[in-house]
Structure 1
Amino acid sequence: MMTSQINPDDYNRNDTDDADTVSATVPEDCAGSRFDKALAQMFPQYSRSRLQNWLKAGHILLDGQSADAKTKVWGGEQVSMAPQMLPEELAFVAEDIPLDILYEDDALLIIDKPAGLVVHPGSGNWEGTLLNGLLYHYPTLKTVPRAGIVHRLDKETSGLMVVAKTIQAQLNLVQQLQGRSVKREYIAVAQGLIKQDGTVDAPIGRHNKDRTRMAVTSMGKAAITHYFVLERYRAHSLVKCRLETGRTHQIRVHMAHIGHSLAADPIYGTRPHGSTPEIYEACQHLGRQALHARKLGLIHPETNKPMLWRSPVPVDIQALIDFLREDIAGEFEDDWDEDDYDVETIYQG
């Protein structure tokens, strides 16, 4: 369920104010809410703590006046906000990084991310990221939070991502993600023989001992993954996974949670039972988790038309699949690439 109904026409850069000022109208469904709570609902692309800091510093005005976080709003008030960049964001620089663009229009980009490319600068990866490449190829994205990035893929996960080219499109896409209307399907090689299709509905949060890892924990956020068995080999299964939510490492954590971690996963993987030395070597040669985001479907933020993009299985994962097939001398047909989304237009890479 979307958290608010904001008219895109009410969320615009103010032509008469500073170029970095964003104006918006408080939605009627925020009536009676604290101002800080309404801000979190209106601007989900920013963290609540960040909005509260801007509010305290006077960077957010309510009907042209400073306001307290506890101030009640009733809908219809005008909010003026001047987003402030964090110190690490000020260090973001444009870099000439090749991007595989499958689709582009005035509102969004669809990118086929290769394995090995970090999406967003962070500790240990302050350069050479997708964001740096976006700023180089699309300089206007410097005015959009996080250069238009609305969701991420792990460094070693390949596949499809959507990037917003405007703040209005970004807000719409964030709300679609929150409302679970964005369709994301992955292809993966999992360890072990999975008996049947299933769903993992288990909250995910930081591991209580190793903060670099994620884990299924009662203190985590809701996470739902649907998985479907496509092929079975000697000690592995080929599956497709569909996400309802988008938690960090979600598929990797959920598959490991049910005892079927992804092949070659350096964090959550284990050596599969029944594997031969040759299979183990083939998985290690992959050098990354066997996970690829192959389908992405959404409602276009401007035309409201459903759209779908597909990315072919990359060479390295396809080579592993072929090896696993040959190992059991099986004959398989790639009939698992059927289109089962209810859309009008399909773009295929």
Structure 2
Amino acid sequence: MFTYRIRSSDAGLTCLQYLRLILPAAPQSYLKQLLRKGKVLADGKPASPDAPLVAGSVLTLPRSARLQELAATAAPMLVDILHEEDLLLVVDKPSGLAVHRSKGHEDDNLLERVRRRSKALGQEFQIAPVHRLDAETSGPVLFGKGHQAISSLGKMFMAGGIDKSYLALVRGDLPDKGRLDTPVPAKGTWKDAATAFHVRQRLGAYLLVELFLESGRTHQIRRQLADRGLPLVGDRRYGGPAVDGFQRLFLHCVRLSFRNPFSGRQLAIESALPPALSELLETLG
């Protein structure tokens, strides 16, 4: 049997919508047939196509040859939803996944996953990210729903209306708080860049640092810390130190804050440290 536990971010989807996300290569007619014949079980009972799923429920499908082939054809297009409203969506991006289609990420990227989810829900409006994170960096990404929302949120971002804070791990020393203000390369020239920081935790030779972007240059945090002689743990591009058993860049966006331009409400969307990062901190501590 194929077994899937329903996450909180997928609660409320109908069973058919969820099946379209986990089996994106399957024809909808085939999925409906499975449901009609009682082949899909929710907590051990035949699932209704239109009943909303509940977080923690277990969905099971038969391990038939066709389902195995469909499951192997394409990766599930699931996303972790941190916050959703009529005109905006905040998604928790994992490390290793690009925001947009790019070399090596043609078929699976965050935008494609969000579009697949939108299509599975029967939504026909345009949806697009307002900003981006490096593929290696994890954390929240804001999407606009519909052309007008995308435009409004994009203008807010360009005007500096979105605050982002990050957690990074370095080996070396820094004062308890301060600023990084070295320029960074951008499109063939050098651009001013500013990042405030404070040390959250001292772990022997390592520092857990919270950083607050005051400008938004590509690789700003990674480049500025490397120029300071403190490249991030796991940052192969800038010569960061390797830690045994740790396979990714230690950079995670923990908070996205902005005033919702449609409601006027102040939002602070937080993202928990991924398990691999938390486990490394426990090991070092």
Match of 1:292?
Answer: 252
Task: State how far apart, in whole Å, the 1-side matches of 2:244 and 2:150 are.
Answer: 38
Relative to the length of structure 2, the TM-score reads 0.68
Q: CA deviation at 1:163?
A: 0.7
- Cα deviations by residue, 1:279-324 (Å, 9 ceiling, x for unpaired): x5xx242211111111011111211211111111111111111111
1:125 corresponds to 2:105:
yes
Match of 1:322?
Answer: 282
Q: CA deviation at 1:206?
A: 4.9
Match of 1:221?
Answer: 191
1:241 corresponds to 2:241:
no
Structure 2 unaligned segments of length 5 or more: list them. 1-73
Code of the aligned partner of 1:190: V
- Cα deviations by residue, 1:311-339 (Å, 9 ceiling, x for unpaired): 111111111111111xxxxxxxxxxxxxx
Match of 1:183?
Answer: 163
- Cα deviations by residue, 1:92-122 (Å, 9 ceiling, x for unpaired): xx98511000111111001111112111101
Task: State how far apart, in whole Å, the 2-side matches of 1:314 and 1:96 are.
Answer: 19
Quick one: which of 285, 294, 304 aligns to 2:264? Answer: 304
1:162 corresponds to 2:142:
yes
The secondary structure found in structure 1 opposite 2:281 is helix
Quick one: which of 203, 222, 230 aligns to 2:200? Answer: 230
Question: Is the 1:186–1:295 Cα contact (8 Å) retained in structure 2?
Answer: yes
Change (3 A) 1:313 1:95: closer
The secondary structure found in structure 1 opposite 2:197 is strand
Quick one: which of 174, 178, 181 aligns to 1:198? Answer: 178
Task: State how far apart, in whole Å, the 2-side matches of 1:198 and 1:141 are.
Answer: 46
Match of 1:56?
Answer: none
Specify which structure has the higher proportion of strand: 2
Q: CA deviation at 1:141?
A: 7.7
The secondary structure found in structure 2 opposite 1:109 is strand
Quick one: which of 220, 226, 229 aligns to 1:256? Answer: 226
Code of the aligned partner of 1:244: E
- Cα deviations by residue, 1:29-68 (Å, 9 ceiling, x for unpaired): xxxxxxxxxxxxxxxxxxxxxxxxxxxxxxxxxxxxxxxx
Change (3 A) 1:128 1:201: same
The secondary structure found in structure 2 opposite 1:148 is strand
Aligned residues: 210
- The alignment yields a C-alpha RMSD, in angstroms, of 2.2
**Residues 338-349 of structure 1 aligned to structure 2 (within 5 Å):** none
The secondary structure found in structure 2 opposite 1:174 is helix
Change (3 A) 1:194 1:150: same
Question: Is the 1:141–1:148 Cα contact (8 Å) retained in structure 2?
Answer: no
Change (3 A) 1:171 1:234: same
Quick one: which of 79, 90, 112 aligns to 1:110? Answer: 90
Question: Is the 1:194–1:260 Cα contact (8 Å) retained in structure 2?
Answer: no
Code of the aligned partner of 2:143: V
- Cα deviations by residue, 1:59-81 (Å, 9 ceiling, x for unpaired): xxxxxxxxxxxxxxxxxxxxxxx
Change (3 A) 1:142 1:248: farther
Match of 2:5?
Answer: none
Identity %: 33
